[in-house]
C-alpha cells in the first residue's frame, strides 16, 4: 500500500514540474487561466491613426486659440496705450437729412438715385406744379391790370389838381373884387364852395392812386408767393452729400412732408463712444482724437471731441466694458473735420465699426499707429 501512494506522489510532482516548465517556455502561446477558471482580457495597443487624429485636433485648437487671441489683442490692446489715452468702440455715422415735399402733389421727375453724390442747391426731384403755374399767370395778369389802374388814377389825380388850382385862383380874384364892391357876396360863396369841392376831389383821386398801388403790391406778392411755391416743388439738396435712400417713385402722390430721398451730410461725420466716469471726466470739448476703422486699420483719422453728455447712463448693450464696475457711462461724440470729410467724400460710409482714441493729456505723444496726418 505504501509503495502505491509513493508512485502517485511522484506522478503529481512530475506533472507539476512539467506544467511550470511549459509555462516558462511558451507562456505567450497558452491562454492565461485564472483560479476562477474565467478568461482574462488582454489589453490591445492603440492604433497609430488614432494618435495622429488626436494630435491634429489638438494642433488645430491651439492655432484657432492663437488666432483669436491675436485678433482680440489687435482690437483691444489698451495695455499698449500710454497713460492719458482712452478708447471706445463705436460706428462711424453721418447726419441723415430727409428731402421732403412742402405741398401735397405728384412726383413728375427724379434727377438722382441711390449712391449719387449731390451738391448744395442741386435739383434732385420735381413735383407736378401745373396748377401753381396757372395761378401764377393769373396773378401776373392782375399785376398788369393794377398797373393800368394806377396809371388812370394818376391821370385823374393830375386833373383834380388842375381843377383845384383853378378854383383857388377864382376864389382869390373874387375876394379882391368883393373888397372893391365889384362882386357880390353870393359869387364869393360860390367860388369858395367850388374850391372846397376841388380839394375833396383831389383827396379822393389821391386815395384812389394809393389804393391802386396797394392792389399792385398785393398782386405782386401773389406772384412772388406762387413763384416761391413753384420753386419749392423743385426738391433740392440742402447740403453736399450722398443719396442714401430713395423712398418714392415717379407718379406717386405724396402728402405734405412726404419723403422722397434721404441723404447723408458728408460735412458732419462723427462717432459716438461711451466712457466710464473716471475716464470721461478727463475729456473736454476739443480734445484731440483719432478714429481707426475696422475696414482701414492702418489709416488713423484725425478728429476732435465735439460733445460730452451732461448726464451719465447705464452701460448700453453695444459697449464692451473692462469690468463690471463700469456701470455708468458718458456718451462722447468725436467729429471728423468737415473739410477733411469733403475732401474724402467718396470714402465716407455710414455704419462702419471702429475704435476712437482720445488723448486727454496733450503732452502725451500718440503711438506710431495713431499719429496720422495733422
Cα gap 173→237, rounded to integer Å: 74
* Residue 14 pLDDT grade (very low, low, confident, very high; cuts 50, 70, 90): very low
Q: pLDDT of 316-362, one tens digit each?
A: 665 655 555 557 788 999 999 888 888 887 777 788 899 999 998 88
Q: Where residue 57 falls among pLDDT bands split at 50, 70, 90?
A: low
Residues 140 and 83 in one domain: no
2, pLDDT greater than 90:
no
Examine the domain organization and report whether 185 and 278 are in the same domain.
Answer: no
Q: What is the pLDDT of residues 236-288, one digit of tens each?
A: 999 999 999 999 999 999 999 999 999 999 889 999 999 988 888 889 999 99
In a domain, 79, yes or no: yes
pLDDT in tens, 168-181: 999 888 888 888 88
Task: State how far the Cα of 275 lies from the Cα of 308, in Å rounded to an integer.
Answer: 10
Same domain, 90 and 170: no
Residues in the chain: 374
Q: Are residues 353 and 277 in the same domain?
A: yes
Domain boundary among 45, 66, 87: 66
Residue after which a domain boundary falls, among 66, 87, 113: 66
Question: How much is the pLDDT for 24?
Answer: 40
350, 351, 357, 359: CA torsion to nearest 10: 40
What is the number of structural domains in the chain? 3
The CATH number of the domain holding residue 345 is 2.40.30.170
φ, ψ of residue 192 to 5 degrees: the values are -65, -45
Q: Is residue 292 part of a domain?
A: yes
Asked if the structure places residue 257 within a domain, the reply is no
Which residues span the domain enclosing 303?
71-95+265-370
Judge contact between 68 and 334, C-beta under 8 A: no
CA 174 to chain centre: 86
Residues 85 and 47 in one domain: no
**Model-level pTM greater than 0.75?**
no
Residue where a domain terminates, one of 185, 213, 232: 232
Q: Does residue 213 sit in the same domain as residue 187?
A: yes
For the ranges 101-115, 189-203, 335-349, which has the lowest average pLDDT? 335-349
Amino acid at each position: 500500500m505504501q509503495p502505491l501512494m509513493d508512485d502517485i506522489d511522484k506522478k503529481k510532482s512530475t506533472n507539476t514540474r512539467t506544467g511550470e516548465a511549459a509555462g516558462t517556455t511558451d507562456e505567450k502561446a497558452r491562454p492565461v487561466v485564472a483560479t476562477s477558471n474565467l478568461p482574462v482580457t488582454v489589453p490591445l495597443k492603440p492604433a497609430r491613426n488614432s494618435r495622429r487624429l488626436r494630435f491634429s485636433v489638438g494642433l488645430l485648437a491651439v492655432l484657432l486659440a492663437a488666432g483669436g487671441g491675436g485678433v482680440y489683442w489687435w482690437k483691444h490692446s489698451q495695455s499698449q496705450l500710454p497713460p492719458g489715452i482712452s478708447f471706445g468702440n463705436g460706428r462711424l455715422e453721418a447726419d441723415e437729412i430727409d428731402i421732403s415735399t412742402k405741398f401735397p402733389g405728384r412726383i413728375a421727375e427724379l434727377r438722382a438715385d441711390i449712391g449719387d453724390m449731390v451738391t448744395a442747391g442741386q435739383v434732385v426731384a420735381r413735383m407736378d406744379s401745373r396748377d401753381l403755374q396757372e395761378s401764377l399767370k393769373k396773378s401776373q395778369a392782375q399785376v398788369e391790370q393794377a398797373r393800368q389802374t394806377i396809371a388812370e388814377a394818376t391821370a385823374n389825380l393830375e386833373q383834380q389838381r388842375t381843377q383845384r388850382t383853378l378854383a383857388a385862383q377864382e376864389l382869390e380874384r373874387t375876394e379882391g373884387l368883393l373888397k372893391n364892391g365889384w362882386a357880390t357876396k353870393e359869387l364869393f360863396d360860390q367860388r369858395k364852395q367850388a374850391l372846397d369841392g376841388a380839394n375833396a376831389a383831389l383827396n379822393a383821386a389821391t386815395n384812389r392812386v394809393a389804393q391802386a398801388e396797394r392792389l399792385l403790391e398785393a398782386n405782386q406778392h401773389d406772384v412772388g408767393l406762387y413763384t416761391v411755391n413753384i420753386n419749392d416743388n423743385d426738391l433740392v439738396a440742402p447740403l453736399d452729400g450722398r443719396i442714401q435712400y430713395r423712398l418714392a417713385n415717379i407718379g406717386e402722390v405724396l402728402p405734405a412732408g412726404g419723403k422722397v430721398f434721404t441723404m447723408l451730410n458728408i460735412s458732419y461725420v462723427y462717432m459716438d463712444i461711451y466712457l466710464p466716469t473716471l475716464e470721461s471726466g478727463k475729456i473736454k470739448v476739443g480734445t484731440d482724437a483719432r478714429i481707426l476703422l475696422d475696414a482701414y486699420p492702418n489709416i488713423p483719422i484725425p478728429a476732435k471731441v465735439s460733445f460730452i453728455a451732461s448726464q451719465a447712463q447705464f452701460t448700453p448693450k453695444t459697449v464692451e466694458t473692462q469690468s463690471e464696475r463700469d456701470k455708468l457711462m458718458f456718451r462722447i461724440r468725436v467729429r471728423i473735420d468737415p473739410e477733411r470729410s469733403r475732401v474724402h467724400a467718396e470714402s465716407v460710409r455710414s455704419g462702419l465699426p471702429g475704435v476712437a482714441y482720445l488723448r486727454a493729456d496733450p503732452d502725451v505723444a500718440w503711438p506710431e499707429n495713431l499719429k496720422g496726418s495733422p
